[in-house]
A and B are shown apart, each in its own frame.
Chain A
Amino acid sequence: MRNKAVRITAAVLVLLSFGLFGISANMSGLEIMEQVYNRPSGDDMTATLNMTLTNSRGSTRDRSIAQYRSDEEDMEKKLMFFTAPADVRDTSFMSWSYADGRDDDQWIYLPALRRVKRISSGNQNDSFMGSDFTYDDLGERHPSEDTHTLLREEELMGKTCYVVESIPRTGGEEISRTLNWVVKDEWIGLKKKFYDDDGELYKELSIEAFEKISGFWLITDMTMRSVQDGTSTRISMEDVSFNDNLSSSLFTERRMKMGPPR
Chain B
Amino acid sequence: MKMMTGDAKAEMGILSGRQIPGRLVLMLLSAAAFMLFFLMPADAEDIELRGMLRSYTGVRLHEDGADIPVNEQTVDLSLEGWGDMTQITINPFGYVGADPSDGIDLGIREAYIDFFFPSMDLRVGKQAVVWGEAEGAFITDIVSPQDMRSFILADFREIRMGIPAVRADYYEGPFTFEAVWVPTFTPTQPPAADSIWAVQPDLSQAPLPVSDDLDFVEEGVDKDLENSEIFGKISYFGSEINAEVMAGWAWDDQPLITGIDLNSSSEIDTIYQGYERFGVFGGSLSTTFGSTVFRSEAAAYLNKSFTVKEAAGLGVDQYNQLHALAGLDWSIGGITLSSQYIFQYIHDYDTEIMMAEEFDNTLTFMVQDSYLSDTLTAKFFSYLGMGAFDTVDALLRPSLTWKFEDGVHIETGAEIFLGDDDGNFGQYKDNSLVYAAVSWYF
Contacts and interface: CB of A to CB of B under 8 A. Distances in A.
Interface in A205-262: 231, 249, 252-254, 258, 262
B406 A130 contact: no
A117 to B, nearest CB: 8
B176 interface: yes
Contact of B50 (A89, A105, A113): A89
B46 A262 contact: yes
A257 B54 CA distance: 25
Contacts of A231: 373
Contacts of B34: none
Nearest to B238: A105
A128 B45 CA distance: 32
Question: Which residue of B239, B288, B291 has the most chain A CB atoms within 10 A of its CB atom?
Answer: B288
Interface in B154-192: 155-157, 160, 169, 171, 176
Given A115-B130, A126-B331, A253 B237 contact: yes
Interface in B281-301: 286-288, 290-293, 295
A262 B84 CA distance: 9
Interface string A85-125: 11101000000100000010100000111111111111101
Interface residues of A, number: 39
Contacts of B334: 123, 125-127
A80 interface: no
Contact of A253 (B116, B130, B155, B176): B176
Given A55-B372, A115-B130, A254 B287 contact: no
A130 B288 contact: no
Contacts of B50: 86, 89
A61 interface: yes
A252 B173 CA distance: 10
B407 interface: yes
B121 interface: yes
B157 A114 contact: yes
B441 interface: yes
B292 A120 contact: yes
Contact of A129 (B176, B286, B374): B374
Interface string A150-170: 000000000000000000000
A194 B372 CA distance: 20
B405 A122 contact: no
B349 to A, nearest CB: 32
B242 interface: yes
Question: Which residue of B45, B403, B409 has the most chain A CB atoms within 10 A of its CB atom?
Answer: B403
B406 A123 contact: no
Q: How large is the interface on B (under 10, 10 to 19, 20 to 34, 35 or more residues)?
A: 35 or more
Contact of B287 (A118, A122, A258): A118
Nearest to B442: A86
A62 B403 CA distance: 13
Given A105-B239, A105-B288, A119 B171 contact: no
B335 to A, nearest CB: 9
Contact of A86 (B160, B292, B374, B441): B441
B330 interface: yes
A32 interface: no
Question: Which residue of A105, A118, A131, A254 has the most chain B CB atoms within 10 A of its CB atom?
Answer: A118
A53 interface: yes
Contact of A122 (B133, B157, B171, B330): B330
B375 interface: yes
Interface of B: 45-46, 50, 82, 116, 121, 128, 130, 133, 135, 155-157, 160, 169, 171, 176, 235, 237, 239, 242, 286-288, 290-293, 295, 329-331, 334, 336, 370, 372-375, 403, 405-407, 409, 441-442
26 contacts: A55-B372, A61-B373, A61-B375, A87-B403, A103-B288, A103-B290, A105-B239, A112-B156, A113-B130, A114-B128, A114-B130, A117-B286, A118-B286, A119-B293, A120-B292, A120-B293, A120-B329, A120-B330, A122-B291, A127-B373, A130-B370, A130-B375, A132-B373, A231-B373, A253-B237, A262-B46
Given A120-B329, A123-B331, 19 more contacts: A55-B373, A61-B375, A62-B406, A86-B50, A86-B407, A87-B407, A112-B155, A112-B156, A112-B157, A118-B288, A119-B329, A123-B291, A123-B336, A125-B334, A253-B176, A253-B235, A254-B169, A254-B171, A262-B46
Interface of A: 53, 55, 61-62, 84-87, 89, 96, 103, 105, 111-123, 125-127, 129-132, 231, 249, 252-254, 258, 262
